[in-house]
Chain A
Amino acid sequence: MYYLLAVICGSLVASMISINGGLTDFYGTYMATVIIHFVGLIFITIYLKLKGEAFLPKEHLPFYYFLGGAIGVGTTVFNNIAIGSIGISAILALSLLGQSVTSIVIDHFGLLGMPTERFNKKKLIGLGFVLIGIIVIISS
C-alpha cells in the first residue's frame, strides 16, 4: 500500500508541473509562481489549523533556517520557464539528474551540516545510463 502511495506521489509531482504549465500559459512565469505559493499557503494553513499544530517555533531560530522556501521559489520558476519548450518527462529526468549530482556533492564535501560520504566512482556508470536516457527522451 505504501509502495503504491510512493508511486502516486511521484505521479502527482508530474501532474503538478503540467498544471503549473497551464497557469504559466495564462499568467506568465512569475505571476504563476506567486499564485502557486499563495494557494499552497492557504492549504497548509488550513491543514495546520485542523491539526492544531503550532505556527511559531518554540525557540528563536536564525534566519537561515527559513531559507528553504526562498530556494524553493527557484524550483517553481525554473519549472515554469522550461515547460512548453521541453516535455514533462524531459524536465523531470533532468531535474532528477540535478538532484542526484547535488546530493553527491553535498555528501562528498559534507556541506550544509550533512555527514561526509565520499563519492563512489562506480556511480559514474549509473549517471552515464541516466545521461543516455535523458538524451533519448529529449531527442524522441
Chain B
Amino acid sequence: MLVAIIVSLLSGFTLVTARVANAKLAEKTSALTSTFYNYVVGLLLSIVVLGLLGHSELPITSISTNVWIYTGGVISVFVVFIQSAVAPKIPTFYMTLLLFVGQLFAGVIIDSIMAHKFSVGQVIGGLFVLLGFTLNLMIDKKASS
C-alpha cells in the first residue's frame, strides 16, 4: 500500500510537469498538435519501458475481447479536448475546482460500485480534500486579482 501511495503522489508530479511542457509546445504549435506529439513520444517511450521492465508481461498469450478495457486512451484524448474547450470559457478557479469535484466524487462512486458498498468515510474524506483545495484556490484567486 505504501508503494501505491508514493507512486500516486508522484503521478501528480509527472502530471503537472508534463502539462507545463505540453503547454510550451502548444504555444509553438497548437493544443491538438501538442497532444499528438504527447502520444507519439509517449508510445515510443512506453515501448522502451516495456522492453526494459516488462519481461514478465511478454509474450502476450491471449487477447481480451472486452472492448471496454481499451477505451482509456480514447477517454484521455476526450479529456484534453473538453479541457481546452472549457478552460477559456470559465474562470480558472472554477475550472480547477470543478475538475477536482468531478474526479473525487466519480472516484468515490466507482470505488463504491467496485466494493459493492457505499463508504461514508470516503465522502467525508473527499469533502475535507475539497475544502483544503478550495481554501488554497481562494488564496490564489485573491493574489491574482
Contacts and interface: CB of A to CB of B under 8 A. Distances in A.
Question: Do A and B originate from a single complex?
Answer: yes
Interface of A: 2-3, 5-20, 22-23, 26-31, 33-45, 47-48, 51, 53-55, 57-59, 61, 64-79, 81-82, 85-103, 106, 112-114, 117, 120, 122-123, 125-140
17 contacts: A6-B98, A9-B86, A12-B102, A12-B106, A31-B57, A42-B73, A44-B32, A44-B35, A65-B28, A81-B3, A94-B9, A98-B15, A99-B15, A101-B12, A133-B129, A136-B121, A136-B128
Interface residues of B, number: 106
A40 B36 CA distance: 9
Q: DSSP class of B's interface residues: helix, strand, loop or mixed?
A: helix
A61 B57 CA distance: 36
Given A9-B102, A59-B28, A102-B17, A122 B139 contact: yes
Interface of B: 1, 3-5, 7-22, 24-25, 28-30, 32-43, 45-47, 49-50, 53-54, 56-58, 60, 64, 66, 68-83, 85-86, 89-90, 94-95, 98-108, 110-111, 114-115, 119-122, 124-136, 139, 143
A94 B8 contact: yes
Nearest to B47: A34
A116 B38 CA distance: 26
A82 B4 contact: yes
Contact of A2 (B35, B69, B78, B86): B86
B107 A41 contact: no
A33 B41 contact: no
A120 B126 contact: no
Nearest to B17: A71
Given A10-B100, A30-B53, A128 B76 contact: no
